[in-house]
Structure 1
Amino acid sequence: MVCAAGYDRTKEVKEFDNSKMGVKGLSDSGITTIPKFFVHPPETISDLRKSSVTGVGIPVIDLSNVDTEAGRAKVVGEIREAAKTWGFFQLINHCVPVPVLDDTIAAIKAFHDLPIEEKAKYYVREEGRGVMYASNFDLHRSTAACWHDSLNVWMAPDPAAAEEIPAVCRRAVAEWDIHAKKVAEDVLELLCEGVGLKGGKLKELGCCDTRAIVGHCYPPCPQPDLTVGIKSHTDPVVLTVLLQNQVGGLQVKHGGDWVDVKPIHGGLIINIGDLLQIISNGEYNSVQHRVLANGLKEDRISIVEFFNVNKFDESARYGPLPELVSPPEKPCIYRNFTMKEFTENFYSKGLDSKSFVEKLKLCAL
């Protein structure tokens, strides 16, 4: 695309991508202005400048007594309410030792701190398998790029070979997958109980069969008011487990307002994905969230693990669980779908909010 002033956006994006330096490389080079293709439109920028709601935060849920009868009932109720009204909550006193969390963050940061020529060995755009390091997975599909780089490692059902994973974070990635999967399975069990299902129902449906770890780096940005770290979107998966360092920037939309998610050392953030909203027939909700561009001097590091049904089983059909549908009080809100539909929708565009959910809404609504 060449604009009237002679600016060739397509050429500049291609040159940036071919350089394999990522935004971390741009930031470390000492630039004082960001490339034009990172600048977001006025309507996005004006929304970013709105102050977040103060004195409000996503629910924090303490799992320390989850193994007692009374404690479990309390936690189930809290998670049910948080998943329905917020779509986000933060867990404390979970099963993962704090040193493991700190080591995982340090390992992902160590990768992003590698020299450009070392990271360039992993810079590819082959989505959906193996290992992919790149800046903006949707760089060539989005209208404006975001200020972050990512290391993607596929863990299941077709895991990346150990030697494919960068040595500097290989052990930590493998260990984190084990811990995060346990957390996800425990949360899914509690979510099942929250809507009257047997605890293992979502696990039996294969809701953890596809797993991908994404280690984001949001380096300091010289013009944070002109771009975003990651634009507003919902997660097109079943469930997400998020670990972050102490550099803020994550915001969740709640009641029409943006709310800052304050990092808690030792905490883990859980958010509901689009597919769980569909499977639960709207009992749980995915919500918009975004990351502001980093205006601080320290890198923001976040490690996201996405949990989803097996995307390689394209013949299987998914939709609202029959147990959660009882017309006329609780009609079926969404039609069934195949993972082929889901995959084609996801890879046909950049990040967005609930486009797939909207496509599946029944006409009767």
Structure 2
Amino acid sequence: MKREEAVLCERQKEVKQLEETKAGVKGLVDSGVAKLPTIFVHSLHTNSAKEDNSCHGINQPQVPVIDLHGLADHDDEMMDKNKLRKEMVKELKEAAEKWGVFQIINHGVPLDVLHDMLEGGRRFHEQHQELKKDWYSRDYTRKAIFYTNAQFTAQVPVDWRDTLRCGDLQKPDHDESIPHVCRREICHYSKHLLLLRQLMSELLSEALGLDSDYMARLGCLNSMNLLCQYYPVCPQPHLTLGTAEHSDTSFMTMLLQDTTGGLQVLHDDHNEWVDVKLVCGALIVIIGDLMQLISNDKMKSVKHRVLATQGDTARVSVACFFDSDDKLKPYGPIKETVTEDDPPRYKQTSYLEYSAHYYSVKGFIGSPTLPHFKTNII
């Protein structure tokens, strides 16, 4: 047997063994593993700043922070709200154009709700594995499932991460489908995010020079899926990643992270990985591929990744992906973003078609998907 075939055979064996445990990466850690199985080794991705062009320290560029005070908190006593809103829209527009990501503070979601959500996610992942097994599944039609890596094959390096996925949280009947151990926290948090979605929808619309209700009428943010991510402490963090380089298929993602750190975004101005600074009470807004598509490149989808967790404490984050609830509805560049000098740069596509191509080209290891949907005009 050739060496390549032997390596693939060993990787297939490791995938099968891990899948059969239904315990995820956390189960490997609990078993006392000291050396990473080969499926977790990212040979082209290391955490070395020297090798991967990471930027650290006080001189690195900072992801923009936008203060929504006066808008999200519905403070009627704020003076000159129109002027304030215009300033926020300007900041958001610049951040979406240059970075594709920004942090928002004073967004109206109470600190205790954020804290409880992170603790609820941690509680699910750190309960005894026998209590989690019933949730372990690859049936993505189920409203709530637990798994390790959505793309879990021997051919693709596996991320050092477990996930609890809860879908269709915009629907009123989702509560009973969520694991009881974190149901209250997820339901409470999702209700706040659905309210915040309305404001972000308006601000994104206005940043594109559209009426504030444009995105709402377009329906591109109607669906919300929540992923509670768990990144166990890694015995060999220099060999793997918590989440490999990727961009999101969504129109918009809102991310809540704990204080562990590890999230990085690719800043194109310097072509370097930048640490996302930890800001108390902040939510991170990430522009997705489909938002770049419908904005005709006016907004930028950003590549990001998560380093493997070092230290003593597992990292927890909660990502909420906002998409159309009609997965077959075609979306193309918004006509108001198109001019004679700047014609449509993308063909129309549905969320289903886009995401299918995304995974077919292994989008989770950095292969770009947007170019496939480019027109021949540009």
Alignment TM-score, normalising by the size of structure 2: 0.90
1:331 matched to 2:346: no
How far residue 352 of structure 1 moved from its aligned partner, in angstroms, is: 4.5
Distance, in Å, in 2 between the alignment partners of 1:189 and 1:243 is: 21
- Structure-to-structure mapping, 1:288-327, within 5 angstroms: 288-312=303-327, 314=328, 316-327=329-340
Q: Deviations over 1:206-263 (max 9, x none)?
A: 1222210000000100000000000000000100000111010000000201100122
Larger mean Cα displacement after TM superposition, 50-59 or 167-176: 50-59
How far residue 15 of structure 1 moved from its aligned partner, in angstroms, is: 0.8
How far residue 45 of structure 1 moved from its aligned partner, in angstroms, is: 6.0
Distance, in Å, in 2 between the alignment partners of 1:323 and 1:4 is: 52
**Amino acid in structure 1 at the alignment position of 2:177:** E
Question: Which residue of 1 is the match for residue 16 of structure 2?
Answer: 14
The residue matched to 1:136 in structure 2 has which SS?
Answer: coil
Q: For the Cα contact (< 8 Å) 1:274–1:354, is it kept in 2?
A: no
**Amino acid in structure 2 at the alignment position of 1:265:** C
Larger mean Cα displacement after TM superposition, 65-74 or 114-123: 65-74
Distance, in Å, in 2 between the alignment partners of 1:343 and 1:232 is: 16
Larger mean Cα displacement after TM superposition, 17-26 or 282-291: 17-26
How far residue 162 of structure 1 moved from its aligned partner, in angstroms, is: 3.0
- Structure-to-structure mapping, 1:255-270, within 5 angstroms: 255=269, 256-270=271-285
Distance, in Å, in 1 between the alignment partners of 2:45 and 2:355 is: 29
Distance, in Å, in 1 between the alignment partners of 2:39 and 2:198 is: 40
Q: For the Cα contact (< 8 Å) 2:361–2:369, is it kept in 1?
A: no
**Amino acid in structure 2 at the alignment position of 1:310:** D
Distance, in Å, in 2 between the alignment partners of 1:211 and 1:2 is: 46
Question: Which residue of 1 is the match for residue 55 of structure 2?
Answer: 52
2:70 equivalent among 31, 42, 65:
65
Q: Deviations over 1:160-208 (max 9, x none)?
A: 7433311011111112211112222211211111121000111111122
Question: Which residue of 1 is the match for residue 370 of structure 2?
Answer: 357
Larger mean Cα displacement after TM superposition, 169-178 or 233-242: 169-178
With over 3 angstroms needed to count, the CA separation of the structure-2 counterparts of 1:280 and 1:141, relative to structure 1, is farther
Q: For the Cα contact (< 8 Å) 1:181–1:208, is it kept in 2?
A: no
Distance, in Å, in 1 between the alignment partners of 2:247 and 2:6 is: 35
With over 3 angstroms needed to count, the CA separation of the structure-2 counterparts of 1:190 and 1:296, relative to structure 1, is same
**Amino acid in structure 2 at the alignment position of 1:278:** L
How far residue 354 of structure 1 moved from its aligned partner, in angstroms, is: 6.7
Q: Deviations over 1:282-310 (max 9, x none)?
A: 11000110000001210100000000012
Distance, in Å, in 1 between the alignment partners of 2:143 and 2:135 is: 10
Distance, in Å, in 1 between the alignment partners of 2:247 and 2:260 is: 21
Q: Matched residue pairs, number?
A: 362
How far residue 145 of structure 1 moved from its aligned partner, in angstroms, is: 0.4
Question: Which residue of 2 is the match for residue 164 of structure 1?
Answer: 177
Q: Deviations over 1:51-107 (max 9, x none)?
A: 424332100111113461221111110000001100010111111110010011111
Q: For the Cα contact (< 8 Å) 1:206–1:310, is it kept in 2?
A: yes
Distance, in Å, in 2 between the alignment partners of 1:359 and 1:73 is: 35
**Amino acid in structure 2 at the alignment position of 1:263:** L
Question: Which residue of 1 is the match for residue 121 of structure 2?
Answer: 108
Q: For the Cα contact (< 8 Å) 1:131–1:151, is it kept in 2?
A: yes
1:212 equivalent among 225, 230, 245:
225
How far residue 5 of structure 1 moved from its aligned partner, in angstroms, is: 8.4
Distance, in Å, in 2 between the alignment partners of 1:352 and 1:188 is: 29
Distance, in Å, in 1 between the alignment partners of 2:339 and 2:148 is: 45
Question: Which residue of 2 is the match for residue 34 of structure 1?
Answer: 36
Question: Which residue of 1 is the match for residue 27 of structure 2?
Answer: 25
Distance, in Å, in 2 between the alignment partners of 1:338 and 1:167 is: 34
**Amino acid in structure 2 at the alignment position of 1:261:** V
Distance, in Å, in 2 between the alignment partners of 1:187 and 1:179 is: 12
How far residue 356 of structure 1 moved from its aligned partner, in angstroms, is: 3.0
1:344 matched to 2:347: no
- Structure-to-structure mapping, 1:64-143, within 5 angstroms: 64-66=69-71, 68-140=81-153, 143=156
Distance, in Å, in 1 between the alignment partners of 2:200 and 2:168 is: 19
Give RMSD over aligned pairs.
2.1
Distance, in Å, in 1 between the alignment partners of 2:65 and 2:337 is: 27
Distance, in Å, in 2 between the alignment partners of 1:220 and 1:44 is: 16
Alignment TM-score, normalising by the size of structure 1: 0.93
Q: For the Cα contact (< 8 Å) 2:333–2:348, is it kept in 1?
A: yes
With over 3 angstroms needed to count, the CA separation of the structure-2 counterparts of 1:3 and 1:331, relative to structure 1, is same
**Amino acid in structure 2 at the alignment position of 1:168:** V
Question: Which residue of 1 is the match for residue 295 of structure 2?
Answer: 280
Larger mean Cα displacement after TM superposition, 39-48 or 107-116: 39-48
Unaligned runs of 5+ in 2: 72-77
Distance, in Å, in 2 between the alignment partners of 1:283 and 1:243 is: 25
